[in-house]
Chain A
Amino acid sequence: MVSHRLAAGGLVNRGNALSFTFDGKTYRGLQGDTLASALLANGELLVGRSFKYHRPRGIVTAGSAEPNALVTVGTGARSEPNTRATVAELYDGLSAASQNRWPSLAFDIGAVNSLLSPFLSAGFYYKTFMWPASFWEKVYEPLIRRAAGLGRLVTEADPDRYEKAWAHCDLLVIGSGPAGLMAALAAGRAGARVILADEGFRLGGSLLSESSAVGGLPAAEFAGQMLAELATLPNVTLMPRTTVFGWYDDMVFGAVEKVQKHVALPTPDLPVERLWRIAAKRAILASGAEERPLVFGGNDRPGVMTAGAARTYLNRYGVAIGQRVAIFTNGGSGYALARDLAASGVEVTALIDARKESGDAVPDGVRLIRGGAVTSTRGTRALKGIIADRSGFEEDLACDALAMSGGWSPVVHLMCQRGAKPVWSDERQAFLAPDVGAAFVAAGSAAGLDRLSACLRDGADKATVLARDLGFAAYEAEIPDVAGDYDPDFAPLWYVPGSKGKAFVDFQNDVTVADLGLSQREAYSHVEMTKRYTTGGMATDQGKLGNVNTIGIVAGMRGVSPAEIGTTTFRPFYTPVSFGAMAGTARGEHSRPVRRSPLHGWAARNGAIFVEAGPWYRSSWFPREGEKTWREAVDREVRTVRASAGLCDVSTLGKIEIFGPGAAEFLNRVYSNAFLKLPVGKARYGLMLREDGIVYDDGTTSRLSENHYVLTTTTAYATEVMAHLEFAAQALWPHLDVRFASSSDQWAQMSLAGPKARIILQRVVEDDLSDAAFPFLSARTVLLKGGLAARLFRISFSGELAYELAVPAGYGEAVADAIMEAGYEEGICAYGVEALNVLRIEKGHVTHNELDGRTTADDVGLGRMMAMQKPDFIGKHLATRFGLTAADRLQMVGLKPVEADAEIKAGAHLLKENAKPSMVNDQGFVSSACYSPTLNSFIALAMLKSGRERYGEKIVVWDALRTSEVLAEVCPPVFVDPDNKNLHV
């Protein structure tokens, strides 16, 4: 390979050589290179393969719109597919590999598709692969899928860190080229909080590629000088390597900062990428302009790139894109490149200008072909020559690089992400930024300006206006002179007539002019349909490079202005954003915040197995030595509770302190049952409905003093119920004098249940707990021995004599330990939510398995809790609708298998004996099921059509999903102590 690095020039650090590999081969680059510039410097033209035809492809741009030079960077779990080599900052040890080729980049079997291309026209797959029907999944689709995609995703977990942050500023400047720099400086000097963000690793934007002198200095030096001043301003934040990818409502911008993408081994103290949400009062889009490729036969040959890219490689990286460079242009841009190449001593084969005349200066010794065009190119994996056509006269010119310039399109993407469409300008032959209001304006070439001097002034002017608008004193910026400024003005040339071979508009997706023609002939004429049918603009560059050409060509085919065609919809993201940056730290075990019960440590010490329950980890069961299955542990825990006593952590229940003279009335309205007359010192079970008459949640509420209640919710609905009550208090009945706040975290709450519960608890509690002194449903503050105040409630979910004791969270573990010690001789055990579930099923108590958002109070046998005599409560008025009171509704029943050892599982459905399974015959379903060690049988709660009329009926528990059918008897849903004798002992 011939080195393409020039002896001098560029902003690369020639004293710092970096070693990297591409497809296993080792190369040298320089600090300051991108991977693309380093590959070019090494003479590597072929860097990728296209999507459909697997055509050999080279680097086309020097920026983020690159469609071809996509490589996989990194190895192992750090592999990153589809990385644009043109923006990948080179570092020592970088390892890159080409994609979408087999067996190798130089020899790719898939290239046979190119020969088949007549059959693979746009949308061909919609017209075939339909016969026979079964072949799509079996034959055709696997073939298509094998060809799909570009890079390969590694499925290992990412070893690196990511962060997210917020930033706030008066003015966000997007882009650090001439307009952006001047804007930041003007607003910064005026005292505004400025953020200057740029996707590049070196700030300065196009100034870094410029050969003009600005303010008497080389452009890059001028940029350096301005940046140095900006760095001294405390109110200015410079954010290199930061791509603003999205503009969202309320002037919030999404940006991603590559913090450590330029090191081989990232330090774990920093993220590799950081997602920024930038809340800006004002913003300036100074994102520059994108050069359009020209569309002619073979315009995708490796060695063909945009003139601006060629100029960047030359001026910024000191790399000539070839030894003999031809230039094909329709405007001043090609001339600027010709002058710079000539000045650097690179041979310019010919400068072919599609225009018949222009005032642009041609450097000495460069052959100018006016009114000419390139109609095709030669070479397979690298450009060997071009066919230039002037007035029908064809000439074969040997060259190893071709720079093309089809004019410039302002980069207006961000401004169009919120619905506004860019506006076609006949004068500029480009789509310009829409007016999106005064808070966000474009400046410089993003605003359609062309000359450097104009861009510098525009940036300063616009920032001055915005800063003044925010109340900052106006600052008149001096605008530096530009020596060697040129006019990149151009004449439209959408497509070179007479082109031979494929002329591409979308390089990556292999969309050609012929494909566009086909889409129009077939009536996919709206630009969105054209896009969707041809896939033009749907590649990883999202049409940055090709879309305007597509629009121009389609406009030409239809004989209308591009304005009439319009653009497709711009949507985030400006450039692709890693999932890692978007996820930040929320991944793996940290994907959601964890809530820990104050009794977590106690449960862990007692051997608990924890289970995820919403944000919580709840103690599920407490296996003891010798217990082989969870069932053994649960059965023992249940038996112990029924025979003696058990202690269970119920701290996760929601607890709300309710105060005020209006509290009673408030509770009376949010619960379906009566609450006005709840005595002080008493708890009551309450049922809460939604306004549609369906049960929402249940729990107990206790009156601690005249105007102070504590309400409990289920664990699952704690958050929702709190919001529901706040809504009722604030939006429905603001005149009620009631105030409340959550106290869920204040209390460690434990349920002590079982016939021995009182004896054990009395050993810890000072107050008299006899049934007379503390009867069922008592609720009040008691003193523990030693003086600690606690709340004690005599309520039961298990159906046994039970208490719930609440102590300040920090004491929870100590108190639980004391109770366990106090109950040691009674054989007390810790029990978890699994045993709790068995206990409540045996007792016929409902949970959200039954209250699944479709059940009424009556459905679950709680019809008596609908206090319809109350004038109003939430859910009262729609609860009487026909559908909610129909006789064939599902009602809660119990089920007992006819054969005791037959297992019933929740989720099974119910069928009449000998009935054919069908939705019409479906009788209901099993909502909860368990093995009952008390009854020595599986039991279940089920929702059955007209269930309460069907006690005694045999019914089939149909579980085809788990291939089980069990005959069961329908029974009342309370399996133990139906008369509640145990509660009142």
Chain B
Amino acid sequence: MASLITCPHCGVRPKEEFSIRGDAVPVRPAPNAGAEAWYAYVYVRDNPKGRIQEYWHHAAGCRRWLVVERDNVTHEVFSVRDAADVARSGSGEAA
């Protein structure tokens, strides 16, 4: 993962083409969700050791935001999906 990412649109690409945002699990709350929900969305991270989902932006490629599901210990990648598809499917869970 740290070397190559298989972009669902562009194929295998080096890390240099991407920029990384962080945890892709938190979902932006509804506008009226309340202070606690907004605080949690912006600041609190589950940060587990193991399988995680993370936003990667294919900045030097298709310029799509991707959700990379990967292991942050072994660096194995399980899936790379377009973030819009993930968002449309309504949750961070695999569609």
Contacts and interface: CB of A to CB of B under 8 A. Distances in A.
A734 B87 contact: yes
B55 A727 contact: yes
Contact of A731 (B4, B29, B41, B87): B87
Nearest to B87: A734
Contacts of B49: none
Contacts of A876: 31
A15 B39 CA distance: 78
Contacts, number: 74
B87 A249 contact: no
Contacts of A166: 14
A635 interface: no
Given A726-B63, A878-B38, A878-B42, A732 B55 contact: no
Interface string B19-62: 10100100011010101001101100000000000010101000
Nearest to A279: B4
A249 B75 contact: yes
Nearest to B59: A723
B3 A248 contact: yes
A723 B87 contact: no
B84 A723 contact: no
Contacts of B28: 732
B3 A250 contact: yes
A249 B57 CA distance: 19
Interface string A337-359: 00000000000000000000000
A871 interface: yes
A65 interface: no
A9 B32 CA distance: 86
A249 B5 CA distance: 10
Given A871-B31, A877-B31, A727 B21 contact: yes
A419 B72 CA distance: 13
A691 B22 CA distance: 14
Interface residues of A, number: 27
Main secondary structure of the interface of B (DSSP, over half): mixed
B75 A723 contact: no
Contacts of B12: 279
A730 B84 contact: yes
Contacts of A735: 88
Interface string A705-731: 000000000000001000100110011
A251 B57 CA distance: 22
Contacts of A277: 3, 14
A719 B57 CA distance: 12
Contacts of B3: 248-252, 277, 279
A878 B33 CA distance: 12
A609 B76 CA distance: 50
A730 B42 contact: no
Given A248-B3, A727-B65, A692 B55 contact: no
B82 interface: yes
A250 B38 contact: no
A612 interface: no
Interface residues of B, number: 34
Contacts of B21: 727
Contact of B84 (A249, A251, A734, A878): A734
A396 interface: no
A927 B33 CA distance: 36
A229 interface: no
Q: Which of A248, A877, A881 has the most CB of B within 10 A?
A: A877
A426 B86 CA distance: 52
B64 A730 contact: yes
A872 interface: yes
Contacts of A252: 3-4
Contacts of A723: 19, 57, 59
Contacts of B65: 726-727, 730-731
A732 B42 contact: no
A733 B87 CA distance: 8
A878 B41 CA distance: 10
Contact of B2 (A249, A878, A881): A249
B4 A730 contact: no
Contacts of B74: 419
A853 to B, nearest CB: 15
Contact of A250 (B4, B41, B88): B4
Nearest to A248: B3
Contacts of B14: 166, 277
A249 B31 contact: no
B83 interface: yes
Contacts of A248: 2-3
B59 A731 contact: no
Contacts of B77: 250
A731 B1 CA distance: 21
A277 B13 CA distance: 13
A727 B82 CA distance: 11
A166 B39 CA distance: 44
Contact of B57 (A692, A727, A732): A727
Nearest to A253: B3
B82 A730 contact: yes
A396 B82 CA distance: 76
A936 to B, nearest CB: 47
B45 to A, nearest CB: 14
A270 to B, nearest CB: 24
Interface in A727-776: 727, 730-735
A731 B63 contact: no
B72 to A, nearest CB: 12
Contacts of B86: 731
Contacts of B84: 730-731, 734
Contacts of B88: 734-735
Contact of A692 (B42, B63, B85): B42
B39 A878 contact: yes
Contact of A732 (B2, B63, B85, B87): B87
A723 B38 CA distance: 22
Contacts of A691: 41-42
Nearest to B89: A734
A626 to B, nearest CB: 47
A277 B86 CA distance: 32
B10 to A, nearest CB: 15
Contacts of A877: 29, 31, 33, 35, 38
Contacts of B29: 877
Q: Which of B29, B55, B87 has the most CB of A within 10 A?
A: B87
A730 B2 contact: no
Interface in A410-427: 419
A731 B38 contact: no
Contacts of B59: 719, 723
Given A723-B57, A730-B87, A250 B2 contact: yes
Given A692-B42, A871-B31, A878-B42, A731 B2 contact: no
B63 to A, nearest CB: 6
A878 B39 CA distance: 7
Contacts of A881: 35
A934 B50 CA distance: 62
Contacts of B57: 723, 726-727
Contacts of B85: 734
A790 to B, nearest CB: 27
Nearest to A254: B3
Contact of B1 (A250, A419, A719): A250
A881 B36 CA distance: 11
Nearest to A880: B35
A959 B59 CA distance: 42
9 contacts: A250-B2, A250-B3, A250-B77, A277-B3, A726-B57, A726-B64, A727-B83, A731-B65, A731-B84
Q: Shortest 6 CB-CB distances between A and B: which pairs?
A: A252-B3, A734-B84, A872-B31, A731-B83, A249-B2, A250-B4
Interface of A: 166, 248-252, 277, 279, 419, 691-692, 719, 723, 726-727, 730-735, 871-872, 876-878, 881
Given A252-B4, A878-B35, 9 more contacts: A249-B1, A419-B74, A691-B42, A730-B87, A731-B84, A734-B87, A877-B35, A877-B38, A878-B38
